[in-house]
Amino acid sequence: MINSKRIITISLILVLLLTLIGTGTLSAQNNRLDIAIPGRTQTLDPGFLQRVLSEWPVMNSIFNGLVKYEPGTFEVVPDLAHDWEISDDDREITFYLRENVQFHRDYGEFTAADVKFSFERIIDPEANSPEAPSFVQLEKVEIIDDYTVKLILEEPMGRLFTSTLPFNAGLIVSKEAVEEMGREDFASNPVGTGPYQFERWDVNDNIHLSYHDNYWGEEPEFKEVQFMPMADPTSQELALQSREIDIGQLTLDNFESIQNMEEFEAEIYPDLAIQYVAFNTTRYPLDNRELRKALRYIINPDDILIGAFAGQAERAYSILLPDMIGYWEAPAYDLEEAGEEYVWNLLEEAGYPEGEGLELEYVTDATEERRMIATIIQDQLSDFNIAMDIEALEVGPKIDRWQEGSYDFTYARFTNTVDPGYNFQWNLTEQIGEWNLFHWSNERYDELWNEAETIIDEEVRSNKYIEMQKIMDEEAIGLWITHGVKTPAWKVDLNPVFSPDGVILPWLVTSR
């Protein structure tokens, strides 16, 4: 009959061959860091990024700004500018630039002309850059000499040093390269002064960077970096376990099991974002402030953190992360501390004794996590006889409902930056019908926000934001739940450095 021996022999040879090729390719790439990132990078031009955070690790490796965040903190320190002076009226800022800084791929020395070019192309109304609001008060940039440059502002600009200059909008591109290639080609062929230069974008959307020989700063240990977009978190975890990536992100479901493995380390960082419950303050019945105050006690964020975040995420008491300018800790509104009796009384004062007759419409995303959160809140409300109707929607209809204001309350996650002005702008009156999910308007709040935008002094600015947070708290417009988490994991033989929100800084990674 059929020669099964031959089949077995062939299969054995195949397996053997596999093993041979296998050992060749799977051994660790000694000088390259393979880093998984959650999504495909859309553009490599820092002046035209649509999203706020996802491109940051790549941008940060290729470009420098005049200033940067000190690694591991949000403190702003010199980068391409070694020093600066601020005029008395806070409207002229003179930067003294580092000399002998070279652009990648022979695009010459970095000078004041590159700074002028990089910033002015963003404020050019023709260019339509999504970063334009980051430079809203910038009038022009003046070149004093090759190594001195002056930013002239129409009004003092609060967010200049907190988020504009050290972040995407402040990154310096090579004037010569952009002019030579044109904006569109530059977006896939970036030229900066950072530790790594761009090599190629492969068909798998991986971004390959290599060490920039003329880099002005300290030489990184790893000479090559590969950013690999992997949208599926399970794939990232498996790739990490099969040692095909060096650094990746875990899901909370598997965090503990991987953290306990000897070959890997993992850590939890707060995400630079805010997740919150927003009450629709203009629609019956939650236009009733007393009722909103009662709900703040009834909705317990701690249960949500346990149920939907495996108990690994920290509770948020502000839109801001604790070490940011203007941080103010809102009260916890703890039901146990206040006592149920107190909350029943609040409900009665609001006109709903025994919670009877209350039925609230809740709009949320159709994801598993958000449905879980909804169910937890529903359960908490039912203890006070309040019915809750959950509507889990796809993004499109959800945004429609948000903008129409056709809901009683909702759950949202907004990405933040390090600047409070950016993070607090969504609650302004002008954002009603756009992204103000409270449909809330407060004159004093708007006034304070506008004032803070034009203040550079950190303490004065900070006080404005604290007052704004107290107003939001007094008005009981919502409840901050958590900042969420980032959970990077890496091979144990690496020594990675992360920003306070868990973003990898590849050029600082060393091996043990």
Partner 1 sequence: MFVYISKRLLWVIPTLLAVLFLLFSLTYLLPGDPADIILGPRATEEMAQDLRERLGLDRPWYEGYIDYIRSILRGDLGVSIFRNRPVFNVVMEVLPYTLALTFAGMGLAVFNGIIIGLLAASYQDSWLDSLLTFISFLTASTPTYIASVLIIVVFSVNLNLLPSIGLGEGGLLNSLYYLIGPAVALSIGWTGYIARLTRSSMLETLESDFIQTEKSFGLPSYYIIYKYALKKAVKPIIAVVGLGIGRLLGGAVFVEVIFTRPGLGRLIVNSIYERDLPLVRGGVLVAALLFVLANLLADISYAYFDPRIKQE
**Residue ranges in contact with partner 1 by CB under 8 A:** 1-2, 4, 7, 18-19, 21-22, 25-26, 39-40, 42-43, 50-52, 128, 130, 132-133, 184, 187, 203-206, 228, 230-232, 234-235, 238-239, 241-245, 394-400, 403, 414, 426, 434-435
- Minimal distance, residue 15 CB to partner 1, in Å: 8
- Minimal distance, residue 370 CB to partner 1, in Å: 17
d(CA 300, CA 479): 9
Nearer to partner 1, 54 or 462 (CB): 54
Amino acid type, 429: T
Which residue's structure tokens are 């900042």?
A: 483
Distance set, CA 37 to CA 34, 105, 239 (Å)? 10, 26, 12
DSSP string, 146-188: TTEEEEEESS--TTIIIIITTSGGGBPPPHHHHHHH-HHHHTT
- Strands (E) across 280-375 are located at 359-365
- Minimal distance, residue 156 CB to partner 1, in Å: 23
d(CA 103, CA 175): 10
- Minimal distance, residue 22 CB to partner 1, in Å: 5
Nearer to partner 1, 94 or 429 (CB): 429
- Minimal distance, residue 424 CB to partner 1, in Å: 13
285 prior amide bond cis, ω within 30: yes
- Minimal distance, residue 447 CB to partner 1, in Å: 22
Nearer to partner 1, 9 or 19 (CB): 19
Nearer to partner 1, 44 or 141 (CB): 44
Nearer to partner 1, 52 or 191 (CB): 52
Distance set, CA 219 to CA 195, 211, 222, 277, 508 (Å)? 8, 8, 9, 46, 9
- Minimal distance, residue 200 CB to partner 1, in Å: 11
- Minimal distance, residue 26 CB to partner 1, in Å: 6
Nearer to partner 1, 156 or 170 (CB): 170
Phi/psi region, residue 433 (left: phi>0; alpha: psi -120 to 50; beta: rest), is: left
d(CA 421, CA 444): 15
Amino acid type, 388: M
Question: Which backbone phi and psi does 424 adopt, to 5 degrees?
Answer: -95, -5
d(CA 295, CA 421): 28
d(CA 336, CA 220): 52
- Minimal distance, residue 400 CB to partner 1, in Å: 5
Amino acid type, 434: E
- Minimal distance, residue 372 CB to partner 1, in Å: 21
Our CA angle for 289, 292, 297, nearest 5°, is: 135
Residue burial 44-67, b: 16+ Cβ < 10 Å; e: rest? bbbbbbeebbbbbbbbbbbbbbbb
Which residue's structure tokens are 């009004």?
A: 155
Which residue's structure tokens are 């995400």?
A: 271
DSSP string, 8-28: HHHHHHHHHHHHHHHHHHHS-
Tokens of 225: 């970096």
Tokens of 126: 């023709």
- Minimal distance, residue 132 CB to partner 1, in Å: 7
